[in-house]
């Protein structure tokens, strides 16, 4: 069998002998560590909205320190989590890693871990760029890119450059790798005076790059979900179906265009705004399909107990995809966009998408990886408290996002109608404590699951 032809899913070994190697386990631990830091730092971020903010100031910590750390950890979690699952597929589809691949994984982990520590130290030391999602020094971007190039080397050396005969989730990854590099470079265009001295151009490029950059890790995450579903069912029919490829095409088009609903307020050409609006409305097709699939999934998997945690996160990802696509379509409507943009409603959309969709997908995928490393019957996957935590994550996240949405809607409405707006001061006063309580509950539920998985990966009997 050639290196560019993966084995069919039904031949994959789903036991501990699949080769969850130490480098791969290290990559998974790095991803889970970044996810844990995202939630740990999220709590003091929420604290900055309360009266206790003065305590942080006494320690020299402000929102300016915490927000870019929170964002950087969140991005690192999704990217590294996706990369981990891609490596897992490479091992299952093409066999155990050779010596060169092991060395590349180790070097990649070392580069990204070094970048992560450096970013954390530099941001806490007050070295900011002030950029959205790129608050750290571009020096660390070099380490991140070098690690990504090693990932690309490993992927393309096994998969090759031909797309024929590949399942759609592999094509998603195939596209995501260069898309990451292109959009990451574009996001650093501010380093050129041609961009930095022209604020409107800078803002337009920043939003375009950020939107497509998010699209690259969405491709990693969505591909991971389809891979895990195929592996559990040992059936890849859907991954080769016309429906899967059609929605991949719409999603890819959306990746390059839907950033426009963030730039309605900029003096751009009208056709840019119209294309963005029309493409965003194409999400209605995806929304309808997700809604139908959600009902089928809930009925089909309601009685499934062999993988309760994996199934729980997969069902959650479907539900949150429906909710966040609905919100995305609302935000794309110009009058509503004018009212909501720049409020906590946009923060709700970002966090809901990052946690509700991407994280739920990757938690399902990570649970699958843990099942291979430690066994499907491991207590970190079957213990009642873990199953309860999965449900609590959804409950806390729903009310957390709801509070943000209501806060954003109240501010947007007041700004939209002016003095005739009603008095929302009572809710505004309740917002910080509600956010703190719900955020703390969400953090505790997530960390209970993540720490259990990290322990399982560290002490698995057969790391192979």
pLDDT tens across 117-171, in order?
Answer: 999 999 988 888 888 888 899 999 999 999 999 999 999 999 999 888 899 999 9
Domains of the chain, residue spans: 18-161, 164-278, 282-464
Select from 273, 463, 268, 355 the least CA-distant residue to 75. 355
* Residue range 282-464, CATH number: 1.20.210.10
Tell me the pLDDT band of 75, cut-offs 50, 70 and 90: very high
Structure-model confidence comparison of residues 230 and 417, the more confident one: 230
In Å, what is the CA distance from 61 to each residue of 44, 55, 125, 132? 9, 9, 10, 19
C-alpha dihedral, 60 to 65 to 67 to 68, nearest 10° = -170
Q: Which residues contact 78 (CB under 8 A, 6 or more apart)?
A: 217, 220, 221, 354, 358, 359, 362
C-alpha dihedral, 370 to 84 to 247 to 176, nearest 10° = 180
Q: pLDDT tens digit string along 156-195?
A: 999 999 888 899 999 999 999 999 999 999 999 999 999 8
Q: pLDDT tens digit string along 315-353?
A: 898 889 888 888 888 887 888 888 888 888 888 888 999
**DSSP state string for 215-272:** HHHHHHHHHHHHHHHHHHHT--TGGGSHHHHHHHHHHHHHHHHGGGGG-TTS---HHH
Q: pLDDT tens digit string along 157-168?
A: 999 998 888 999
Tokens of 206: 């920043």
Which of 8-12, 44-48, 396-400 is most confident?
396-400
Sign of dihedral through CA atoms 65, 68, 72, 74?
positive
Model confidence at 444: pLDDT above 90: yes
Phi-psi region of 137 (alpha: psi -120 to 50; beta: other; left: phi over 0): beta
Q: pLDDT tens digit string along 13-50?
A: 444 344 467 888 989 999 999 999 999 998 888 888 77
Hey, is 160 helix, strand or coil? coil
Helices 270-281 and 242-257: crossing angle in degrees, nearest 10, is 150
Computed over every residue of the chain, the mean pLDDT equals 84
* Mean pLDDT within 422-429: 74
Question: What's the pTM value of the predicted model, to 2 decimals?
Answer: 0.90
What is the reported pLDDT for 47? 81
Share of the chain above pLDDT 90, in %: 41
Tell me the pLDDT band of 463, cut-offs 50, 70 and 90: very low
Model confidence at 356: pLDDT above 70: yes
In Å, what is the CA distance from 152 to each residue of 16, 96, 145, 156? 26, 18, 10, 6
What is the reported pLDDT for 283? 64
Spatial separation of the C-alpha atoms in residues 128 and 68, rounded to whole Å: 8
Model confidence at 416: pLDDT above 80: no
Tokens of 38: 């995202």
Residue with tokens 């426009």: 260
What is the reported pLDDT for 287? 58
Residue with tokens 């080397």: 153
């Amino acid at each position: 069998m050639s290196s560019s032809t993966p084995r069919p899913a039904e031949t994959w070994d789903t036991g501990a002998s699949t080769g969850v190697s130490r480098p791969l386990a290290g990559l998974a631990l790095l991803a889970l560590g970044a996810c844990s830091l995202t939630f740990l730092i999220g709590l003091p971020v929420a604290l900055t909205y309360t009266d206790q903010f003065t305590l942080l100031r006494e320690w020299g910590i402000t929102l300016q320190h915490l927000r870019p750390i929170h964002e950087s950890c969140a991005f690192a979690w999704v990217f590294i989590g996706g990369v981990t699952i891609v490596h897992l597929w490479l091992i299952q589809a093409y066999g155990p890693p050779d010596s060169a691949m092991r060395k590349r994984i180790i070097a990649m982990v070392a580069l990204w871990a070094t970048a992560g520590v450096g970013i954390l130290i530099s941001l806490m030391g007050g070295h900011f760029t002030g950029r959205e999602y790129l608050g750290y020094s571009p020096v660390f971007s070099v380490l991140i890119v070098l690690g990504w190039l090693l990932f690309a080397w490993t992927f393309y050396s096994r998969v090759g450059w031909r797309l024929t005969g590949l399942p759609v989730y592999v094509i998603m990854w195939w596209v995501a790798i260069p898309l990451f590099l292109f959009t990451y470079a574009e996001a650093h265009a501010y380093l050129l005076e041609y961009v930095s001295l022209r604020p409107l151009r800078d803002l337009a490029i920043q939003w375009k790059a950020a939107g497509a950059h998010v699209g690259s890790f969405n491709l990693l995450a969505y591909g991971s979900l389809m891979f895990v579903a195929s592996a559990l069912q040992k059936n890849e029919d859907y991954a080769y179906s016309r429906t899967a490829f059609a929605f991949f095409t719409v999603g890819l088009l959306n990746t390059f265009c839907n950033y426009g609903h963030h730039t309605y307020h900029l003096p751009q050409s009208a056709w840019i705004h119209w294309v963005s609006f029309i493409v965003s409305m194409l999400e209605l097709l995806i929304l309808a399909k997700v809604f139908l699939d959600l009902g089928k999934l809930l009925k089909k998997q309601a009685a499934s107990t062999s993988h309760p945690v994996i199934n729980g996160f997969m069902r959650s990802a479907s539900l949150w995809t429906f909710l966040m696509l609905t919100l995305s379509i609302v935000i794309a409507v110009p009058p509503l966009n004018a009212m909501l943009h720049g409020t906590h409603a946009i923060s709700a959309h970002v966090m809901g998408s990052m946690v509700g969709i991407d994280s739920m997908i990757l938690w399902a995928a990570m649970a699958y990886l843990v099942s291979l490393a430690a066994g499907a019957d491991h207590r970190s996957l079957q213990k009642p408290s873990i199953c309860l935590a999965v449900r609590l994550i959804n409950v806390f996240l729903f009310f957390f996002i709801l509070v943000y949405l209501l806060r954003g809607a109240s501010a947007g409405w007041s700004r939209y109608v002016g003095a005739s707006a009603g008095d929302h001061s009572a809710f505004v006063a309740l917002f910080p404590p509600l956010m703190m309580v719900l955020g703390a509950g969400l953090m505790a539920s997530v960390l209970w699951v993540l720490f259990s998985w990290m322990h399982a990966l560290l002490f698995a009997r057969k790391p192979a």
